[in-house]
Amino acid sequence: MKEIDLSSSYIQAMGHIAGNQIVCSSLGVETGSVDLGPADMVRASGVRLWLNVQFPFARNAEFLAVERDGYVAIVHKDLPIDATTDVDGVSLATVTYPEAQIVTGRGAINPAWLAAIDGKSKTFISNGYVVAIAAPKRYYIGAISAVPTRELDKRIYSTSLITIPVGILASLLLAWSVFRIAKTRTAMPAVIKSALKQREFFLEYQPLVELATGRWIGAEALIRWRRTTGEVVPPDIFIPVAEACGLIQQISQYVAKQFASEAGDLFRRYPGFHVGINVAAADIHDEATVLMFRELAAATGAGRNNIIVEATERSFTDHSRAATVIKQMRQEGFPVAIDDFGTGYSSLAYLERIRFDYLKIDKSFVDTVNTDAATSGVVLHIIEMAKALNIEMIAEGVETELQAQFLYEQGVRFGQGWLFGKPMPFSQLLEGLEKSMPMANHQADSRVS
C-alpha cells in the first residue's frame, strides 16, 4: 500500500525530524524512523533540502525532502513539473538558486539557460527556444520553461499564456505544497492536541439497516473535525497523523466520552439498537481499552450487544495481543466487527484465529456489484468466506436499490450507506429511529454470547 501511495505524484508525508532522522510522520508507525542522510543543501535561513530521497518500500521512486524548524515534507519529484500542455517539445525544470542545479526536469535543458539564472525572472530566445525563467520567490527553487520557436508561428499568444505561467507555477507549487502546513510553525500533532482541548471534534452517526425490512438496527459513530476557522479537516488527513504520533488513543477516548454525553436514554428506549465505536491498532493492542468500553457501557446504560467495537483490518499487526483484547471485549458483551475488510495488509489466516461477530464489506467491493469490473467477483468470495466462518455481514457504502437487493439475496443481512442515510447529528438519528421502529420493540440480537 505504501509503494502504491508513494508512486502517485502528490505530497506524500509530513513529519518531525531530529538531525537527519524522520522520527514521526504520516508514513505510519510501522515504518519506524527514516534516515535521510546529510542534506544536499542548507540555506542561511536554516531550510535543508534533500534532492534524491528513496524509501525501502518505494525503491523505484525518488522524492524531495524539505525541512524547516524541525518539520519535514516529502514531495514526489514529479510534482513540480506535473503540468499538461498541448505544445510539442516543451522543456520544464525546477532548479536551485544560486547553484542552478536541476532538481527535477522534463525535456532537454540547455546549460546556457542555467547560466542565465541570476535571481531575476526573464524571457529570451536561445538556440531555437523561447525560454522563460521564473526567479525563486522565497525557497531558493526557481523554474525554467522552454518552448520551440517554431510554435510561435502557430500560436504566439496561446503559447505565452501556457508556458510562462507553467514556469512560474512549477516554482511556486513545490514551495506551497511543502510549507502550507508548516508555515504556521505549528505541527499537526500540536494542532490535534489543541483541537481536543477546544472540543473542535464532534460526532455524526450513520444508520445501519436490516436489508430485509429497511429498519434501523444500529449506527456507526464517526468523528469529524471542524476548526474554529470553520475549516473542516477530513478524517483521512488527521487520523493517520494521530496514529503516527501516538495521539489516536486520546481521540478514541474523546469519541467514547462524547457518545456517552449524547446517548441519554437511547438504549433504554431502544434496547435492541447498537452503536459502533471505531478503535485503532493502539487501542486493540491495549487491554486498557476494555476498561474504556466498560466505563462507556456504564455511562450509557448499555446492555450486552448495544455497543460494537469496530476495528479495521490494518489494526491487527500483532495477532496475539489483539486476540487477547478482543476475547475480553466479547466476554464483556461487546461484539467486535472487522471494518473495511479486504483493504488491509493482514493475512486472512487471522480470521480463523480471532473470533469476530461482524465483517463489514468495504465500499470498494460493494461498488462493483452489478458491474463488469474485474473485481466484481470478490464480493461473492467475501460473502462465502464469512458464511463459512459464521460471521454476520454488514455491507458498507450501499448507494442503490440494486446493490441492496443483490447483497440481501446473497445472504448479507445488514447494510450501511447513503441509500439508507448519510452521517447525521445525534438528534437527527433519534428522529429517524422514532420513525423506523417503536420504542422498546426492537429486541436485542441474542446471537452473540
Please indicate, yes or no, whether residues 60 and 13 belong to a single structural domain of this protein: yes
CB 290 within 8 A of CB 3: no
Same domain, 239 and 302: yes
| 70 or 230: which leads in pLDDT | 230
Q: What is the pLDDT of residue 402?
A: 95
Chosen domain end from 172, 203, 220: 172
The owner of cell 429497511 is: 214
Residue 274 domain-assigned (yes or no) = yes
State the number of CA atoms in the 13 A half-sphere of 147 facing the CB.
Answer: 25
Number of domains present in the structure of the chain: 3
In a shared domain, residues 57 and 88 = no
Tell me 136's DSSP state.
P
Choose between 273 and 355: higher pLDDT.
273
Distance CA 291, CA 287 (A): 7
pTM (predicted TM-score): 0.61
Among 47, 76, 105, give the residue marking a domain's end: 76
Residue 98 preceded by cis peptide, ω within 30:
yes
Whole-angstrom distance, CA of residue 64 vs CA of residue 230: 32
Q: Give the pLDDT confidence score for residue 274 in this predicted structure.
A: 98
d(CA 237, CA 259): 22
Higher per-residue confidence, 347 vs 48: 48
Decide: helix, strand or coil at residue 73: strand
Residue 147 pLDDT grade (very low, low, confident, very high; cuts 50, 70, 90): confident
**Whole-number pLDDT of residue 275:** 98
What is the CATH number for 93? 3.40.1840.10
Give the pLDDT of residue 122. 79
Map grid coordinates 503540468 to a residue: 83
Q: Does residue 135 have a pLDDT over 50? A: yes
**Domain identity same for 226 and 291:** yes
Q: How far apart are CA 15 and CA 127, in angstroms?
A: 43
- Considering the chain, what percentage of its residues have pLDDT values greater than 90? 37
pLDDT in tens, 389-446: 899 999 999 999 999 999 999 999 999 999 999 999 999 999 999 887 654 444 444 3
Q: Does 446 reside within a domain?
A: no
Q: Can you tell me the distance from the alpha carbon of 299 to that of 356, in angstroms, rounded to the nearest whole number?
A: 25
pLDDT at 86 (0 to 100): 53
pLDDT for residue 130: 81
One domain, residues 165 and 199: no
Rounded to 10 degrees, the C-alpha dihedral 111/112/117/123 comes to -130
Residues 221 and 196 in one domain: yes
Please state, in angstroms and rounded to a whole number, the distance separating the CA atoms of residues 318 and 349. 13
CB count within 10 Å of CB 107 equals 15
Give the pLDDT confidence of 38-66 residue by residue, as tens digits: 888 887 777 888 887 877 666 667 787 88
Q: What is the pLDDT of residues 19-38, one digit of tens each?
A: 888 777 655 544 556 788 88
pLDDT value of residue 206: 98
Average pLDDT for 103-131: 82
44 and 84 housed in the same domain? no
Give the residue ranges of DSSP H helices in 68-116: 111-115
Q: Which residue has the cell 532548479?
A: 95
> Tens digits of per-residue pLDDT, 161-172?
444 455 545 544
Amino acid at 103: V
* Domain span at 31: 2-76
How far, CA to CA in Å, does 305 sit from each of 139, 262, 358, 442, 443? 56, 19, 12, 13, 11
Do 134 and 114 lie in one domain? The reply is yes
In a domain, 86, yes or no: yes
Taking the CA atoms of residue 401, residue 404, residue 408 and residue 411 in that order, the dihedral angle to the nearest 10 degrees is: 160
List, in sequence order, the alpha helices (H) in 367-445: 378-388, 401-409, 426-436
* 49 and 156 belong to one structural domain: no
Predicted confidence (pLDDT) per residue in 256-286, tens digit: 999 999 999 999 999 999 999 999 989 999 9
